[in-house]
A = this chain, B = another copy of it.
Amino acid sequence: MTSIGLAVIGAGYWGPNLVRNAMATPELRLEWLCDLDEDRAKAVLGRYTTVRPTTSVEQVLADPAVDAVAIATPARTHFDLVQAALNAGKHVLVEKPLTPTYAEGAKLVALAEEKDRVLMLDHTFCYTPVVRRIRDLIASGELGDVQFVDSVRINLGLIQPDVDVLWDLAPHDLSILDFVLPEGVSPLAVAAHSSDPIGAGRPCLAYLTLWLSSGAIAHVHVNWLSPTKIRTTVIGGSRRTIVWDDVNPAQRLAVYDRGVDLSTAGADERRAALISYRTGDVVVPALPEREALRGVMSEFAASIKERRAPLTDGRSGLRVLALLEAAGQSIQNDGQRIDLGGPIR
């Protein structure tokens, strides 16, 4: 296989980005852009393209030149599309969330394994230089133990017809968390509160609390109604603390050598006396400016060529679904803490 034949399915909000990045990835060979609305597909491709538009998924899946598909359609269509693609022997890259339920997602993961095809989630943020660096800082021990995670993702967002703010935005935070947490640390329980103050018929803002197996708490705030865009994640560690401010390109990531230390001295001494404060330097690491979706496409191609699981495989999608479902259950029950029954697999 010299290059991998690809079809993009879905020419809506995100599809054009997949098309553009697929076209820029040497290992991929874009064959089709498929959308129910052919004019929309044509508009995305433009007047100067050799890529073919189509409205027929069947045509795409039947084309032997197509080795893989990238799916950017509404979540409710994912199950049927992914299933059909896998059954047609295609590798699949799919937008988050994988499916609207954990049960459906699990079936797709099983099917991909059975068919020996790659099933990859487009957890785009995991392919940004900043998230890669955060993962390294945690994995290398430079951060120390993760003491807390606080993630805010608020903006004036599109109120969507079929997903609430939790399913729309929280997959970003949950997939990042899944990606950066150290080996052996995972969420054990979830609570969530939400609100629909404009009468949109679904939550427009929500707060999630996750209890991690290490004893730490991770918290996520997602909100479609904020006129100001805030995308800040603070990860407190016992040695360093990270502040990731994604709307500040001049200082996207800052590593603080500041914090509170607590010596574990004799129990009869007064605790207060043992606390000390570090107020060291802040380092803003040099990070490459690279479009994350380029990395997604490269990883998709590489995992197909190397016949291995991609970095953000179907199981990472499942873990996100488990958290979203538990959050929904908590909201239904006045914010009750929902146990996940052990680490999610």
Residues of B within 8 A of A258 (CB): 156, 227, 286
Point out the residues of chain B lying under 8 angstroms from A88, CB to CB.
Answer: none
Q: Is the CB of B271 within 8 A of A161?
A: yes
Q: Is A280 an interface residue (CB 8 A)?
A: yes
What sequence of 0s and 1s flags, for each residue 182-216 of chain A, a beta carbon within 8 Å of any chain B beta carbon?
00000000010111011111001101010000011
A193 partner residues in chain B, CB cutoff 8 A: 191, 209, 217, 219
Task: Please tell me which one of the listed residues B225, B226, B234 contacts residue A226 in the complex, with CB atoms under 8 A apart.
Answer: B234
Say how many copies of this protein the assembly contains: 4
Partner of A200, one of B198, B217, B228, B262: B262
Which residues from chain B contact A200 at a C-beta distance below 8 Å? 260, 262, 271, 275
A271 to chain B: which residues have CB within 8 Å? 161, 200-201
Cβ of A23 within 8 Å of any chain B Cβ, yes or no, is: yes
Q: In the complex, A205→B150 CA distance in Å? A: 10
Residues of B within 8 A of A254 (CB): 228, 284
Taking beta carbons and an 8 Å cutoff, which residues of A are in contact with B?
A: 23-24, 30, 46-51, 145, 147-148, 150, 152, 154, 156, 159-161, 191, 193-195, 197-201, 204-205, 207, 209, 215-217, 219, 221, 223-230, 232, 234, 236, 238, 241, 243, 247, 249-251, 254, 256-262, 264, 270-272, 275, 277, 279-286, 334-337
